Structure 1
């Protein structure tokens, strides 16, 4: 898949991490049904590979589905076997390299200019600023866009709908959102509430002029 194009088009990645695999699967499917086009299942969730495999079967081959917290080469290979289209990493390392070798585009975690250059060398499709709030928020993103005006940045970490607007206005290509969007749905919480949050986030990211 063309991850950079998908991020540019949809501007939002939902991050699903849960202690209940059945609830996590329901969360993925509900988000997809609610119009969230890019969904990442974190490998730190319980039975995450099974969730990815079952979600791939239910969503079909054409719906983008990512694996998150890909740290090692084994993580990348397992995610690929389970049916993930793209890999998301919190940092640079073996997981990012192995995913690229497998043909999976990588949303690679970076914090500093040096890491941005390293990610570019690794062939990352986009750059995940993580943890975004602790890095300095939208002001830090604006500073990075000085020397790197064309890099596709995706802030992740503690982003609610207001922060999503601010990051996109500061030049982010997309934002990655976990608990402010997913809430407790992946642990068995309300899917009705999840749908409402999905509508709010979709509206938020669509409001900001590119």
Structure 2
């Protein structure tokens, strides 16, 4: 499966930003035990490149690991050398997208407007990160912008939590990036890693419910199309 196919199935991309090195391992393990299969580690995390290289070795086959807050082609090069399986940016940088294309690594650039969304895809992005989703209007904005652009896969990032995850998914997001609303710094500092695991499971339960209902709807629609008179017989 491609990166996007897996993201479309798993939905949740947990983001690690600025954690102390001595807390990262237990945090990632808690996320994995909670069902998380996508991890973004940002470049403003100490030792990010060495960290990603180590996590790739430890969680091979369990996690897809990318590097976020990639702002230029040099950072993209370092990310790929470290083993990043995808790259995420808060902005639209065409050089970063081009570098990813040359190395067959998906780049998810941050975009706000329809113009940026279309531009990103035109220069080679397979999906875009709508950021900051919360400030833009959340699910309502995503739904509106997808109306004319529903052929473009969109990842929602910014202020996504348990309270609005389902609405964001219903609005058509292929996946969501979640940082502090999942990787809670106060819990990490208090070594309450079991709480992070439990919270991760709550997020994944919402995803499972959404996927089950979406599949059921598709199956029902398929039956109706195959036998349009079945309900009348």
Please state which band the TM-score falls in when normalised by the shorter chain: over 0.9
CA distance in 2, matches of 1:57, 1:43: 19
Instruction: Tell me how far 1:47 sits from its aligned partner.
Output: 1.4
Q: Does 1:49 align with 2:49?
A: yes
Q: CA deviation at 1:117?
A: 1.0
Residue 96 of structure 2 contacts residue 107 of structure 2 at CA under 8 Å; is this kept in 1? no
User: For residue 70 of structure 1, what is the aligned residue in structure 2?
Assistant: 70
Change over 3 Å in CA distance of 1:90–1:54 after alignment to 2: same
- Taking the aligned partners of 1:189 and 1:156, their CA distance within structure 2 comes to 26
CA distance in 1 between counterparts of 2:18 and 2:195 reads 16
Give the TM-score taking structure 2 as reference length.
0.84
* Larger-Rg structure: 2
Over the aligned positions, Cα root-mean-square deviation in angstroms equals: 1.7
Corresponding residue for residue 190 of structure 1: 192
Preserved contact between residue 19 and residue 187 of structure 1 (Cα < 8 Å): no
| Structure-2 separation of matches of 1:103 and 1:186 | 35
Name the counterpart of 1:121.
122
* Alignment match, 1:150: 151
Aligned 8 A contact 1:3 1:125 in 2: no
* Alpha-carbon shift at residue 188 of structure 1 (Å): 6.6
User: Partners in 2 of 1:105 and 1:14 — Cα distance?
Assistant: 17
Is the CA contact (8 Å cut-off) linking 1:21 and 1:48 kept in structure 2? no
After TM superposition, the score normalised by the length of structure 1 is: 0.93
CA distance in 2, matches of 1:61, 1:198: 19
CA distance in 2, matches of 1:58, 1:187: 23
In structure 1, stretches of 5+ residues that fail to align are none
Q: Deviations over 1:6-56 (max 9, x none)?
A: 111111111111330231233223312332111111111111112111101
Runs of 4+ in 1 over 6 A off after TM superposition: none
d(CA) in 1 for partners of 2:125, 2:25: 27
Aligned residues: 210
Contact 2:112 2:130 in 1 (8 A): yes
How much has 1:95 moved relative to structure 2? 2.5
- Any idea what SS the aligned residue of 2:110 has? strand
